[in-house]
Amino acid sequence: MGSSALRVLYIGGTGTISSACVRASVARGHAVTVLNRGSNIVAGRELPPDVRRLQADVRDPDSMRAALDGREFDVVANFLDFTADQVAQDVELFAGRVGQFVFISSASAYQKPPSRLPVTESTPLRNPLSQYARNKIACEDLLVRTYRERAFPMTIVRPSHTYDHTAIPMDGGWTVMERMRQGRPVVVPGDGTSLWTLTHHTDFAEAFVGLLGLPAAIGEAVHITSDEALPWDAIYRTMAARIGVEPQLLHVASDAVATFDAGLGEAWLADKSHSMVFDNSKVKALVPGWRARIPFAKGAREIVDWYLADARRQQVDARLDGVFDAIVERYALPPR
């Protein structure tokens, strides 16, 4: 199975990551098919015109079999599997019918807090504070077992925080940006010094497509991230600089944030309060010449410019804004 002119099925195809992978596959000369519920444009991420479109309910095996009847693919990449039951359905559907099945896992599955940095693919998988991460780990466990017992040709790919022009990297999205614009304090994970890795979706896609049809990737797990790791303070300041303000940063412990909002607290306790720096040696060895090329400073410009171009995109979450106000009232120091 070569790396050119592959018949590739993307299940999903319009998300932040998958849309870039679809475009990169088309640019590589692959015959690309996208299967989803019928969504062809999401947040301006339009499918290329020469992509074949299939419509099915990915949670309904009969719907999937009907949509795929008589069609053959070299590679299937599923961006919509989140539980072991969903992966088991795919194994039964594609076993013996595909040369490579690519499961999109998550770097959230890695041990939290990590016992050492940088994180490699051999870092243990354990994140007891995140149900999402535990589900992804269960998916990986099933695939590894199926590869060992049935030679199911799987590859596991672990993205970390991957973004495009629509994805403000702070929890709260535009709500945080609007607070900055108004000169109001914004709440930053921890003390703002933990390191976080942000990866532009086009950088991710170039490495991802390099793994498709690659025999050396079968049976392997690999993460794809930028080599740039920034403190949270720098991430907030980079975004603020693009809108021309100096942000008021308030540092609050993640467990304290959790007492105000359980969802926000879980996201910070399970991931963002820990430094996450990655060793990308494995993907660079599998895809020679690849490296992430887009610094976050450039990505931040894309994000802010996209939001400022249309006021309809500038939606404030009133509930979350109130949560931030309550945290600020409790923890902000009075001005001197």
- Give the number of other CB atoms < 10 A from CB of residue 204: 26
Q: Which residues are CB-contacts of 96 (< 8 A; sequence separation ≥ 6)? A: none
Whole-number Å distance between alpha carbons of 275 and 119: 10
**Residue-averaged pLDDT of the chain:** 94
Q: What is the pLDDT of residues 1-28, one digit of tens each?
A: 444 689 999 999 989 999 999 999 999 9
pLDDT digits (tens, 9 = 90+) for 107-134: 999 999 999 999 999 999 999 999 999 9
| CA proximity to 98, closest of 71, 72, 61 | 72
Chosen CATH of 174-196+230-275+296-331 out of 1.10.287, 1.10.3470, 3.90.25, 1.10.10: 3.90.25
Burial of 216 (0-12, 13-18, 19+ CB in 10 A): exposed
The domain limits of the chain are: 7-163+198-224, 174-196+230-275+296-331
Question: Which top CATH class is 7-163+198-224?
Answer: alpha beta
| Whether pLDDT at 97 is above 50 | yes
- Amino acid 5: pLDDT: 87
Residue 78's DSSP bridge partners are 11, 103
pTM of the model: 0.95
Say how far apart CA 212 and CA 100 lie, in whole Å: 8
What lies within 8 Å, CB to CB, of 61 at 6+ separation is 89, 92, 93
